[in-house]
Structures are given as structure tokens and as C-alpha cells.
Amino acid sequence: MPAYVALLRGINVGGRHSLKMATLGEVIEAAGGTNVETYIQSGNAVFGHAARAPGPLQAKLAAAITKAAGFPVPVVLRTGAELASVIADNPFAMAPAEHLHVMFCPAQPAATAFAKLDAKAFAPECWAIGAREVYLHLPNGMGKSKLAVSAARLAPLKDATARNWRTVQTLAGMIADR
């Protein structure tokens, strides 16, 4: 049975859009998920599912979670192999973990998606586009980042969800254990 990680966007942030992780686990189980394990309150779950195609499962989970939450909840899915590739393909591997964030996109962002951003204007912050991810190197953190704010306004990232590197590594470890 394939293992997936579900990454939810915009829940339990700043006291808005509250969703208990127990509820998330119940919704995933009701949608056919097995051995559901959530991680921290920002909406991460690792689980098994018989679905071989992540696209339809992603849509099914987003609809079920939205219904349970009472507000729209975008969901991005990755398989264990995909999450392992995110780590292996990290273009900022030498950066301290606390400086690195990954924006997980539902689809591959076009190489031209960031063409309107002037890289020099954001230095020392920088980005790199992966398969369906955008890696952000933010030496001053996400909270003070001008790049993160500007990038989030770009069309390919409107449904993306960001995770810090430590969370990415933890989720990869959780899914690898399945």
C-alpha cells in the first residue's frame, strides 16, 4: 500500500482556521487512509492508502477536509519517494536547516514563474525551483522574509504550502518508516 504525506495549507496559523489534528486523522481514515499519524499543528499527516494515483486522492481529501473544517483547505500530497527526492534535490544543502523552507506546490511551477522577481533585490535571500517545489533560502527566517511574501503572490504558489526544513526531514523520516 502506498504511503503519502498530506500537507495542508493555512490551518492553525495565527489563531485562524482551526482544525484539530485528531479531526484531520479521522477525516483521512474515513477517506480510506490507514495508519494515520499527524505531525505538529500546522496540518501534516502521514498515512497509507490504496490509491495508486495521488491526484484524485488529493482532491478527495481536500473536499473531505474542507467539509469537516467548514472552510477551504488546500491539500498537497507527496509520496514517500517524492519526499525523498525533495531532500536529495535540495539545492541549498550546505545552508543551516533553520534558513531553509520548501514551498510544496500542487503542480510544477513554470521556470518563468519567478521572472518578475529581481533576485538581487532580495539578496541574501534566494530561491530555486524543483520538480513541484520551490526551495527558499531565508537567512533571516520566514517571518522577516520579503522574498517569501513576494513569492507567495505568484500564481504557481497561491495553493502552495510552506514547511521549514526540519519539518520536511521529520516527515520524510516518518514516511520512510512505513
Q: Is residue 32 part of a domain?
A: yes
Q: Cell numbers of 152, please?
A: 507567495
Task: Specify whether 95 is located in the same domain as 69.
Answer: no
- Whichever domain contains 37, its CATH number is 3.30.70.1280
Instruction: Average the pLDDT over each of 63-67, 139-143, 170-174 and give the range with the smallest value.
Output: 139-143
Mean pLDDT in residue range 94-110: 93
Alpha-carbon distance of 105 to 163, in angstroms, equals 11
Q: 94 pLDDT exceeds 80?
A: yes
When pLDDT is cut at 50, 70 and 90, the band that residue 14 belongs to is low
Q: What pLDDT score was predicted for residue 86?
A: 97
- Domain count for the chain: 2
Q: 172 pLDDT exceeds 70?
A: yes
Q: Is residue 106 part of a domain?
A: yes
- Among 40, 55, 79, the domain-final residue is 79
Task: Specify whether 57 is located in the same domain as 110.
Answer: no
Mean pLDDT in residue range 153-159: 83
- Among 20, 47, 79, the domain-final residue is 79
Task: Specify whether 100 is located in the same domain as 69.
Answer: no
Q: 10 pLDDT exceeds 90?
A: no
When pLDDT is cut at 50, 70 and 90, the band that residue 73 belongs to is very high
Q: 15 pLDDT exceeds 70?
A: no
Q: Is residue 153 part of a domain?
A: yes
Task: Specify whether 111 is located in the same domain as 147.
Answer: yes
Task: Specify whether 93 is located in the same domain as 74.
Answer: no
Q: Is residue 174 part of a domain?
A: no
Residue span of the structural domain in which 138 resides:
89-166
Task: Specify whether 46 is located in the same domain as 26.
Answer: yes
Task: Specify whether 71 is located in the same domain as 124.
Answer: no
Alpha-carbon distance of 47 to 18, in angstroms, equals 21
Question: Taking all residues of the chain, what is their mean pLDDT, rounded to a whole number?
Answer: 92
Long-range contacts (CB closer than 8 Å, 24 or more residues apart) made by 153-157: 154/109, 154/113, 154/114, 154/116, 154/117, 155/113, 156/105, 156/107, 156/109, 156/110, 156/113, 157/103, 157/105, 157/109, 157/113
Q: 29 pLDDT exceeds 70?
A: yes
Q: What pLDDT score was predicted for residue 13?
A: 63
